[in-house]
Amino acid sequence: MSGASGTSGTDVRRVPIVAGNWKMNYGPAEAQTFVKQILDDLAAISGVERVLCPPAISLLAVENLTRPTDVKLGAQNMYFEEKGAYTGEISPLMLKGICQYVILGHSERRAYFGETDELVNRKARSAFAHNLRPIVCVGEQLEDRDAGRTERVLTEQVRGSLANLPAERLGELVVAYEPVWAIGTGRAATTQDAADAAALIRALLAEMYGVDAVAAVRVQYGGSVTAANAGEFAALPDVDGSLVGGASLKPEFVEIIRQTAQAKGV
Ligand code: PEP
């Protein structure tokens, strides 16, 4: 596995990472039933970081099962404050000790809950401050792509959501490129789209943090990833794995990770 890319000045070995975003599916009992079904197979794969992101209410139920393994957990969202009068929110202090990762700025959070780049950035900085690894999502809408605005939208999102992070800790950052038109539609991006976006994200981060710091950042592709296409995305040198929605709710998730391991040669 090589971490070198066209925009990376240092040859850093990045560990591939596949995360499953369960969205609003599987309460605690269902979550345990599903995890029991896949855990042995999931735990048996090495060389790829495997992250389950259940709904917040199911995190502890899943953690009870994953604790003896090296399967990691992620939350799907968090607020940036540590505690206080923020009804319905979950804080980094509450996630610490249960999760290693937190998804931030998913396009559904941006579209349905009004999350802005500024808010996502406050959350990302808070995640770093609390030693939670953020998986920050960026991606253009279909109308942006059709109007030739993909690069502009990604540039705004990267500069806005990923500003002022600790440069020396960018190995803890995961950026998920998720074109909105590919999420849940069964219409994945082409590998060329994913390669172009990953290269752009790395180039923008290199401008912000320097080429050496950015060599450690992991970039995922997300959007209708399946066992049939995961290997093609993982074979791209600038793509380090995938963020998986629908297919992470099925045993197919394990096969996606196997395909990723195979494509990366780990
Ligand atoms: C997602 O929700 O992040 C996602 C990529 O969904 P899907 O794999 O279902 O397209």
Work out which ligand 1 atom sits closest to the CA atom of 222. Answer: 5
Work out which ligand 1 atom sits closest to the CA atom of 244. Answer: 8
Q: Answer yes or no: is pLDDT of 24 > 80.
A: yes
Kindly report the protein residue whose alpha carbon is nearest to atom 5 of ligand 1: 223
Q: Answer yes or no: is pLDDT of 262 > 50.
A: yes
Kindly report the protein residue whose alpha carbon is nearest to atom 6 of ligand 1: 245
Work out which ligand 1 atom sits closest to the CA atom of 225. Answer: 8
By most ligand atoms within 8 Å of CB, the mutation choice from 17, 18, 21, 220 for ligand 1 is: 21
- Give the pLDDT band of residue 6 (cuts 50, 70, 90): very low
- Report DSSP letters for the chain, one per residue: -----TT-SS---PPPEEEEE--S---HHHHHHHHHHHHHHHHH--SSEEEEE--GGGHHHHHHHHTTSS-EEEES---SSSSSS-TT---HHHHBTTBSEEEES-HHHHHHS---HHHHHHHHHHHHHTT-EEEEEE---HHHHHTT-HHHHHHHHHHHHTTT--GGGGGG-EEEE--GGGTTSS-PPPHHHHHHHHHHHHHHHHHHH-HHHHTT-EEEEESS--TTTHHHHHTSTT---EEESGGGGSTHHHHHHHHHHHHHT-
By most ligand atoms within 8 Å of CB, the mutation choice from 225, 233, 250 for ligand 1 is: 225
Q: Answer yes or no: is pLDDT of 173 > 60.
A: yes
How much distance in Å is there from the Cα of 109 to the middle of ligand 1?
13
For residue 243, the model assigns a pLDDT of 98
Alpha-carbon torsion, ordered 4, 162, 208, 203, to 10 deg:
40
In whole numbers, what is the pLDDT of the chain averaged over residues? 95
- Give the pLDDT band of residue 11 (cuts 50, 70, 90): low
What are the tens digits of pLDDT across the range 205-244? 999 999 999 999 999 999 999 999 999 999 999 999 999 9
* Of 159, 156, 104, nearest in space to 130 by CA: 104
Q: Answer yes or no: is pLDDT of 259 > 70.
A: yes
Catalytic residue, candidates 140, 172, 178, 252: 178
* 178 carries an active-site annotation: yes
Average pLDDT over residues 83-98: 97
Cα–Cα distance, 203 to 106 (Å, whole number): 21
What are the tens digits of pLDDT across the range 112-167? 999 999 999 999 999 999 999 999 999 999 999 999 999 999 999 999 999 999 99
Kindly report the protein residue whose alpha carbon is nearest to atom 3 of ligand 1: 245
The answer, yes or no, to whether any atom of ligand 1 lies below 6 A from the CB of 139, is: no
What are the tens digits of pLDDT across the range 42-62? 999 999 999 999 999 999 999
Q: What is the pTM of this model?
A: 0.95
How much distance in Å is there from the Cα of 184 to the middle of ligand 1?
5
For residue 222, the model assigns a pLDDT of 98
The answer, yes or no, to whether any atom of ligand 1 lies below 6 A from the CB of 244, is: yes
The answer, yes or no, to whether any atom of ligand 1 lies below 6 A from the CB of 3, is: no
Q: Answer yes or no: is pLDDT of 5 > 90.
A: no
The answer, yes or no, to whether any atom of ligand 1 lies below 6 A from the CB of 256, is: no
Work out which ligand 1 atom sits closest to the CA atom of 248. Answer: 8
Q: Answer yes or no: is pLDDT of 10 > 70.
A: no
Q: Answer yes or no: is pLDDT of 197 > 90.
A: yes
In whole angstroms, how far apart are CA 151 and each of 141, 179, 198?
A: 12, 12, 11
Helix-helix angle 59-66:28-44, to 10 degrees: 30
For residue 42, the model assigns a pLDDT of 98
Cα–Cα distance, 197 to 132 (Å, whole number): 25
The answer, yes or no, to whether any atom of ligand 1 lies below 6 A from the CB of 105, is: no
Spatial contact of 101 and 133, defined as CB atoms under 8 Å apart? yes
- Give the pLDDT band of residue 12 (cuts 50, 70, 90): confident
- Give the pLDDT band of residue 13 (cuts 50, 70, 90): confident
